[in-house]
Structure 1
């Protein structure tokens, strides 16, 4: 197994100040953690092999072998300090009965209970739980828990992939989807037209960015979401969370994508809007003020129904650099925020959910809001301090309803220290939202992961059912109309 390259250090004790984003996640208002469940296909887990693999890979990464130390001894001016890691302090292997009743419920309760347990700052802020219990989806479950200040989703996926290998080729590193780039078709005769299009695109981007920035500022100051049954109460970030997931077919998502000439993100956001509308209508009916779309010849809604905003986390980094297996933008939290409107309504044409999502996302693509929000928060941090920047970010979350994130995973199945992985299901907790939705692609499947406040969404499995059923309805509509024909 090829280990992660261990960084060199010229002093006996390597030290590194926290990045601005990491300092935000250490503030009480944004004290966020990442939890990732990995389903394993092996019938048993070998803890000694896992620990040996961690020593050869993960522990050699500077962030996973550093602890937080306050320079002034009062919790201020935190820095990362390299330390000797005892792998036994980070790998938890509970003694479990593989023949227990309701193993799925046990694993769900176990992971949810982790959101109530603080981490020990005297050692690196990560831990790995090996749950050797068979569930309905896999033979065993491994759970990673780490503090969000250690890195963003792209950085952490890059490390996971650097520690793993292709299942069908144990010596090969996993590969990620390669984004398709549009080639240039400009010729000399179309030079003026191309110049006009470029100028028009630039003007639209400037306009969209300005409007988005005004919306971002208004959200911080006073603009709040419509109150829906999905919105959490003040202090929701401190309450215990419940985490569930549902595995759906990437082939179904890609079929809709190709048939409607959209992107995977467009389809996923369309399914989420359809699923949330379906859930609220079924659970609350008229109390949730859901409107049914009229038919104007295209099945589009005559009125928008309720609107909620989702905070979309956008990671700037390319996931893996070819040589070092470290993100090209550097390790850390390179996260921007996009406020994406989510319409809650019942559409006569299920494909309208995808069309609306595409129209919204296409507009957001012609905007630099994610970069501007990231730079704005960093500017506030430098000018007014970490607490002011954390308060600004916290208020943005409080005035919106949902956190959504989509992370791209490997295109083939991978094995971690010789254990084949069935799925990857990451999520976070610590944001002031009662509902977070994460989409994680892996091989030919996608995990849709929900993190919920059980007081707001007491049975998140029902919401998973609605999301899965919404994808089926949208896919069936594509098939019935013959849009999937090649």
Structure 2
């Protein structure tokens, strides 16, 4: 398959839906309409005879906003990093539009490693090597062969990924998340992951107490580019760029901690330790290389099959987290 240059008809890609009029001043009704509309977008197949993108402009107020803008973009166009880079390239700085966008830099992950002695570095490298091989092997086995336990969240039925579904959302207080972050000395994403895992465990236990000790795995999708921060669309299109446009993704499998402790902070801390160890493993990059190799040899359908297996065997996917 190859990309072809075509004429773009904006009216086929920009959608402005019309919801039933209501005399109720409350926005709850529009919340429901929006939820139903987004569900219909998610369950409908992207037309293959035109460019693989749509923009949906919802001009109705909800309890969270005065309007909603939805981008529906096929993964063939690029991964989250590429697409967000394209979106940010359309924006300008409020203080000086002539300057490029800039964001706070993240601390270097290897700064503490550089300060360690030679012997400690050697021990860490050896440990990382064996952990990486173990993570790589276990990820392949769990993705293709071993299934998680059945729970109120994971049915294990064939074809679950193609079943109808609905969209739900919840808002969390950023101030409270920052408070937990400061208390534990972790990142915001560590807190979010731990809270999600903890909520899932509580729900599973409430629905079926036997699932309290069940083996459950979360799959976190990751960007494998070895870069720091944001790069513009123009920078990504340069041949020598380290963040070439496209799909450069892998996944990280994290066993969800069992609910053995009653303190939520201890649970979040335990989840953070698991994520930290997995994040430092080279298994993520080995899986990314394997995915790229299979795509080149067998086509993109291989990845589709792999993710279908993952959806069947594992319980949870997490997206848009910078781990």
* TM-score (ref. length: structure 1): 0.59
State the superposition RMSD in angstroms: 2.8
- Preserved contact between residue 113 and residue 121 of structure 2 (Cα < 8 Å): no
Q: CA deviation at 1:250?
A: 2.7
Instruction: State the secondary structure of the residue aligned to 1:338.
Output: strand
Distance verdict in 2 for CA 1:119–1:281, change over 3 Å: same
Q: CA deviation at 1:229?
A: 1.1
Q: What is the count of residue pairs matched by the alignment? A: 312
Q: Measure the CA separation in 2 of the matches of 1:382 and 1:350.
A: 44
Distance verdict in 2 for CA 1:198–1:352, change over 3 Å: same
- Preserved contact between residue 113 and residue 240 of structure 1 (Cα < 8 Å): no
> Normalized per residue, which structure has more helix?
2
Q: CA deviation at 1:334?
A: 0.7
- Preserved contact between residue 253 and residue 267 of structure 1 (Cα < 8 Å): yes
Match of 1:272 among 179, 183, 196: 196
The question of 1:159 aligning with 2:73 is answered no
Distance verdict in 2 for CA 1:368–1:171, change over 3 Å: same
| Equivalent position of 1:149 in the other structure | 76
> Normalized per residue, which structure has more strand?
1
Deviations 1:156-179 (A, max 9, x none): 111111122356766665543411
Match of 2:305 among 386, 391, 416: 391
Q: Measure the CA separation in 2 of the matches of 1:142 and 1:184.
A: 40
Q: Measure the CA separation in 1 of the matches of 2:60 and 2:300.
A: 43
Q: Measure the CA separation in 2 of the matches of 1:333 and 1:180.
A: 25
Q: Measure the CA separation in 2 of the matches of 1:271 and 1:377.
A: 30
Q: CA deviation at 1:185?
A: 7.9
The question of 1:403 aligning with 2:317 is answered yes
5+ residue gaps, structure 1: 1-77, 291-304, 409-438, 440-486
Q: Measure the CA separation in 2 of the matches of 1:152 and 1:186.
A: 30
The question of 1:259 aligning with 2:183 is answered yes
Q: CA deviation at 1:116?
A: 2.9
Instruction: State the secondary structure of the residue aligned to 2:64.
Output: coil
Match of 2:160 among 221, 236, 244: 236
Q: Measure the CA separation in 2 of the matches of 1:201 and 1:100.
A: 65
The question of 1:122 aligning with 2:49 is answered yes
The question of 1:208 aligning with 2:131 is answered yes
Q: CA deviation at 1:398?
A: 2.2
Distance verdict in 2 for CA 1:185–1:310, change over 3 Å: closer
- Preserved contact between residue 13 and residue 55 of structure 2 (Cα < 8 Å): yes
Q: CA deviation at 1:279?
A: 1.8
Match of 2:211 among 269, 289, 293: 289
Q: CA deviation at 1:154?
A: 1.2
Q: CA deviation at 1:211?
A: 0.8
- Preserved contact between residue 277 and residue 346 of structure 1 (Cα < 8 Å): no
Deviations 1:316-362 (A, max 9, x none): 23453258253842111111111110124263211111111121012
| Equivalent position of 1:414 in the other structure | none
Distance verdict in 2 for CA 1:395–1:196, change over 3 Å: same
Deviations 1:120-153 (A, max 9, x none): 2221111111110010111011111121111111
Q: CA deviation at 1:100?
A: 5.8
Distance verdict in 2 for CA 1:136–1:392, change over 3 Å: closer
Match of 1:89 among 12, 17, 40: 12
Q: Measure the CA separation in 2 of the matches of 1:404 and 1:231.
A: 15
Q: Measure the CA separation in 1 of the matches of 2:11 and 2:92.
A: 24
Deviations 1:223-278 (A, max 9, x none): 11111111142112222332222232333222222221112222111101111122
Q: CA deviation at 1:387?
A: 4.5
Q: Measure the CA separation in 1 of the matches of 2:279 and 2:110.
A: 18
The question of 1:360 aligning with 2:264 is answered no
Q: CA deviation at 1:391?
A: 3.2
Instruction: State the secondary structure of the residue aligned to 1:115.
Output: helix
Distance verdict in 2 for CA 1:98–1:177, change over 3 Å: farther
Once the two structures are overlaid, the 10-residue window that deviates more, 116-125 or 94-103, is 94-103
Instruction: State the secondary structure of the residue aligned to 1:138.
Output: coil
Distance verdict in 2 for CA 1:345–1:168, change over 3 Å: farther
Q: Measure the CA separation in 2 of the matches of 1:380 and 1:119.
A: 24
